[in-house]
């Protein structure tokens, strides 16, 4: 079967007894532009003397700030919400966001929810949400067998291995959030065994329009399938249903009392008092076209290569999954030999949630270090900044995808430095030109490296891990047991690099 020709057979493969004529036609819809009447437009009004082509950004460095910002956007929206994610879980933070999205739809806000089909949510739950007249859900590149997903992978694995990894949320055409976070407890510092150190940005200005165009491109592509084609709900969300759920889940209580209390957060007061100060500068949105899942062509890589080729002296790369490949390693080595200062932060084996990735990354460490590149690995017990006093997490893991170039350009997005992001998944990122912020962020990262990461060095021709803060040196993967080390090593022997 040709790639994605299965869409034409959805009525038979997924709907069972329903026929093609029962399906609601897929209609192309587009963003409605900047809504000057939105309360968000008044809140994020540009300062005087800001050039009209500049965009502003506010860094979301902590999980609770990232969650609170998304809630503020949803609760302030009066016209439109466009939501696009690779993962949207069914845990407490996800339910909180979906509830507020429902409340927005009840106010008349038009909601478009685009999800990659690597979800753990039930189709019946998504269909129920989709039944609201102001909410439309589409799934990107979905599995054709809904209850036998493994069969889908066996019969169509090449297609299903290509995912929409993009992450964005836009409210009223006024503000967007773009970055590395998916939707789930571990991304928002809430009751999770693993806490991700992540990063995204709240944006205002012309780059928001670019983000909306990106969303429309995916929403209207042939790869985005309306939820009504997959499953329909015989019930529409009602006030009575929501009231019962709120009582059973105690959703408000979980976020307004005890450890997890929004009112204790500094950003909560800043939002209430209109004290959000944006950083203004030139901005550019980079993104793959959805057709990448079919033809493998990456506009994102083209844009990134142009950025990196023009680096004059310094590149700081933060990537949780870092698999440079032989070609990428040689390019980094050549750049270092030409005098470019390169610093790389990625996960250690113990903090990496995909040990197979580490097995292939490990092959290139020594060559990078010998070329003079600074290589750091995140500790599994790194202290991730947050104001909620206890996260309940037993392990930390780097998840931010950030670059700082020439002490002036900030790259923030969904893209890891690995073959999967380059060749298989679709990705997006924003690039801001703002020397003052980048210098400040770089200084902050330098402090983080000392306390929360190991510096890799070579002593007597062997790799060692140095805790710069304590002076302690390790001669094998820190905090990783024999089985984990063995699993990573064996993974490095398998011909799977292009899938990582």
383 is catalytic: no
Catalytic pick among 172, 198, 200, 288:
172
Catalytic pick among 31, 64, 292, 399:
399
CA 135 to chain centre: 22
Instruction: Give the chain's end-to-end CA distance (angstroms, integer).
Output: 25
Please state whether beta strands 279-281 and 409-413 pair in parallel, antiparallel, or not at all (unpaired).
unpaired
The structure tokens listed for 163 are 């995912």
> How far is 332 from 242, CA to CA, in rounded Å?
53
Numbers of helices and strands, H then E, in the chain: 19, 23
**335 by DSSP, 3-state: which?**
helix
In the sheet that holds 224-226, the strands lie side by side as: 224-226, 135-140, 110-116, 80-85, 168-171, 175-179, 200-204, 55-60, 279-281
> How far is 55 from 25, CA to CA, in rounded Å?
37
Catalytic pick among 31, 167, 292, 386:
167
406 is catalytic: yes
User: Which of 448-454's residues contact partners 24+ apart within 8 Å by CB, and which partners?
Assistant: 449/345, 449/376, 451/382, 451/383, 452/378, 452/379, 452/382, 452/383, 452/396, 453/345, 453/348, 453/376, 453/377, 453/378, 453/379, 453/382, 454/348, 454/376, 454/377, 454/379, 454/478
Count CB-CB contacts under 10 A for residue 87.
19
122 is catalytic: no
Catalytic pick among 143, 191, 401, 434:
401
479 is catalytic: no
172 is catalytic: yes
Catalytic pick among 110, 132, 165, 340:
165
232 is catalytic: no
Catalytic pick among 406, 423, 433, 479:
406
> How far is 181 from 117, CA to CA, in rounded Å?
17
Contact 6, 156 (CB under 8 A): yes
Please report how many Cα atoms fall inside a 13 Å half-sphere around the Cα of residue 450, on the Cβ side. Answer: 7
User: For 273-396, where are the alpha helices, taking DSSP H only?
Assistant: 292-295, 299-309, 325-337, 355-361, 365-370
Find the largest Cα–Cα distance for the chain: 72
User: For 161-196, where are the alpha helices, taking DSSP H only?
Assistant: none
Active site residues per annotation: 165, 167, 172, 399, 401, 406
């Amino acid at each position: 079967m040709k790639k994605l020709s299965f869409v034409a057979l959805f009525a038979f493969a997924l709907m069972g007894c329903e026929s093609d004529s029962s399906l609601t036609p897929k209609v192309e819809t587009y963003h409605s532009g900047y809504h000057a009447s939105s309360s968000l437009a008044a809140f994020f009004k540009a300062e005087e003397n800001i050039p009209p082509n500049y965009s502003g950004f506010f860094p979301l460095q902590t999980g609770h700030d990232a969650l609170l910002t998304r809630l503020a956007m949803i609760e302030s929206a009066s016209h439109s919400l466009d939501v696009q994610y690779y993962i949207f879980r069914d845990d407490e933070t996800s339910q909180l966001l979906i509830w507020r999205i429902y409340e927005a739809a009840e106010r008349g806000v038009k909601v478009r929810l685009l999800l990659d089909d690597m979800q753990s949510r039930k189709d019946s739950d998504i269909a129920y949400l989709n039944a609201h007249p102001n909410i439309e859900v589409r799934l990107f590149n979905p599995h054709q067998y809904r209850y036998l997903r493994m069969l889908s992978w066996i019969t169509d694995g090449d297609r299903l291995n290509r995912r929409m990894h993009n992450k964005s949320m836009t409210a009223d055409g006024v503000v967007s959030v773009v970055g590395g976070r998916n939707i789930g407890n571990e991304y928002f510092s809430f009751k999770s065994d693993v806490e991700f150190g992540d990063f995204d940005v709240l944006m205002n200005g012309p780059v928001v329009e670019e983000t909306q165009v990106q969303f429309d491109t995916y929403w209207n592509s042939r790869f985005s399938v309306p939820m009504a084609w997959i499953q329909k709900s015989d019930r529409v969300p009602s006030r009575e249903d929501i009231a019962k759920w709120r009582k059973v889940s105690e959703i408000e209580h979980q976020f307004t009392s005890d450890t997890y209390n929004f009112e204790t957060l500094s950003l909560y007061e800043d939002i209430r008092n209109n004290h959000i100060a944006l950083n203004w500068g030139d901005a550019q949105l980079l993104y793959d076209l959805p057709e990448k899942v079919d033809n493998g062509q990456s506009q994102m890589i083209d844009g990134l290569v142009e950025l990196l080729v023009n680096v004059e002296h310094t590149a700081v790369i933060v990537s949780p999954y870092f698999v440079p490949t032989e070609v990428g390693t040689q390019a980094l080595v050549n750049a270092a030999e030409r005098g470019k200062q390169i610093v790389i932060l990625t996960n250690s084996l113990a903090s990496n949630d995909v040990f197979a990735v580490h097995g292939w990354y490990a092959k290139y460490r020594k060559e990078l270090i010998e070329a003079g590149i600074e290589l750091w690995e995140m500790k599994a017990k790194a202290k991730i900044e947050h104001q909620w006093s206890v996260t309940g997490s037993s392990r930390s893991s780097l998840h931010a995808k950030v670059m700082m170039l020439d002490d002036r350009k900030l790259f923030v997005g969904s893209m890891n430095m690995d073959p999967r992001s380059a060749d298989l998944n679709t990705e997006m990122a924003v690039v801001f030109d703002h020397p003052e912020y980048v210098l400040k962020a770089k200084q902050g990262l330098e402090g983080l490296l000392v306390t929360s990461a190991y510096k890799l060095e070579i002593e007597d021709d062997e790799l060692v891990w140095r805790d710069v803060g304590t002076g302690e040196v390790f001669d094998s993967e820190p905090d990783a047991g024999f089985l984990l080390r063995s699993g990573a090593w064996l993974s490095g022997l398998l011909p799977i690099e292009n899938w990582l």
